[in-house]
Amino acid sequence: MKLGWRVVEFLVGAALALPGTAAAQGPSESYPAKPVRVVVGLAPGGATDIQTRLFAQKLSESLGRSFVVENRTGAGGTVAYAYVAKSPPDGYTLLGVAGGYTITPVVYAKLSYDPVKDFAPISLVAQAPFLLLTHPSLPVKSVKELLALARARPGALDCASAGYGTSTHMAFELFKALSGVKITHVPYKGTGQSLVDVMSGQVHMLFGNVLSSLPHVRAGRLRALGVTTARRSAVLPELPTLAESGVPGYENSTWHGWLAPAGTPVAVLARLNAELVRSARAQDVVERLAPDGGEPVGSTSEEFARFIATDMARWSKLVKETGIRFD
């Protein structure tokens, strides 16, 4: 996939589907006139599912119709992406996505949908850092000490992930590329077992989300060395960023946003965007996101389009420069 041109296509296509453009307008006053499905490509109970349900509930309350979350799992989320891409563009089938959405185009050579042309961005609603975590027995208490140990013992340390091509795998590959260290990748089939094996000491380290890993950090079963975002986390302000700890330029996060099938009426997209932005800034949502390290965003559709395009280009560049394999 030639993502340089794909980025341009995405931004142009998104612009044509956003409020204030020349695209055809559709009625929004009566929307929604029936329940809305919000499809998620990951299993119930995970961070993407939880955040989608949080915002779906807010929209159900504000718009007076049920926003029902439907989990369609398989193939790293692509089953759900393909399903929504082929759904009628009427605003009644939407898609809740996370970081994996921008990674799949570089993992899968062939997709049954076009991640650029088949969707209209609605809003990036929240972001949260990953934590760089180690087993407490590893003799390091900072990112700089970890880097020194990895350089002294090339290939001896290993890092777990939720599987090839997952957001935790790419967080690790970005860390390895920017730091220049040689650490062995140990892929799992999901976050749960990778977390268990690092806590048991079978694997040295992993990148984990705050939701699933923070309780283990506080219990002493894992040691957190840093956060992956550009700024320190309000939940763990004592933890430095990776960028300030010896890995210049490192910035990565887990995020959550909503998409609609391309061709959805502009007025419907505008109403959904307004409600999602309002929900992201609601005090109860801010308070619900905070313990998980999440921060509300509530972007415009245009901002979300640029975010997706930039993220896709970044992962494509990383794979091309490093020769990452996904099998």
Q: List, for residues 184-239, the tens digit of each pLDDT value.
A: 999 988 888 999 999 999 999 999 988 789 889 999 999 999 999 999 998 899 99
Query: In a 10 Å sphere around its CB, with 0-12 CB exposed, 13-18 middle and 19+ buried, how is residue 303 labelled?
Result: middle
Q: For residue 28, give the nearest of 63, 56, 66 by alpha carbon.
A: 63
Closest CA to 190 of 228, 214, 164: 164
The tokens describing 253, both together, are: 């996060």
Q: What is the reported pLDDT for 210?
A: 87
Tokens representing residue 56 in the block: 């779906």
pLDDT score of 216:
94
CB contact at 8 A, 181 and 322: no
The pairing of strands 295-296 and 119-128 is: antiparallel
With a cut of 80, say whether residue 323 has pLDDT above it: yes
CA proximity to 16, closest of 322, 283, 265: 265
Give phi and psi for 160, each to the nearest 5.
Answer: -80, 155
At residue 24 the predicted structure's pLDDT band, cuts being 50, 70 and 90, is very low
**Two structure tokens written together for 123:** 């809003």
Q: Residues with Cβ < 8 Å from 149, sequence gap 6 or more?
A: 138, 139, 140, 157
Q: Is the pLDDT of residue 327 over 90?
A: no
Question: Is pLDDT at 172 greater than 80 in this prediction?
Answer: yes
CA distance 19 to 16: 8
Whether residue 269 has pLDDT greater than 70: yes
Non-local CB neighbours of 273 within 8 Å, separated by 6+ positions:
19, 122, 123, 300, 301
Distance CA 271, CA 80 (A): 23
Amino acid at 155: G
What's residue 27's pLDDT?
52
DSSP state of 45: T
Say what percent of the chain tops pLDDT 90.
Answer: 73
More confident site: 137 or 50: 137
Give the closest residue to 97 by CA, choosing from 253, 280, 256: 256
205: β partners: 134, 159
| Structure token pair of residue 120 | 């209209």
Residues 258, 114: Cα–Cα separation, whole Å: 16
Reading across the β-sheet that carries 158-161, which strands appear in turn? 184-187, 158-161, 205-209, 130-134, 223-227
Other CB atoms closer than 10 Å to residue 153's CB: what's the count?
Answer: 12
Confidence of residue 25 (pLDDT cuts 50, 70, 90): very low
Distance in angstroms (rounded) separating the CA atoms of residues 267 and 253: 30
pLDDT at 42: 85
User: pTM of the entire structure?
Assistant: 0.84
* pLDDT, mean over the chain: 90
Please say if the pLDDT value at position 314 is more than 50: yes
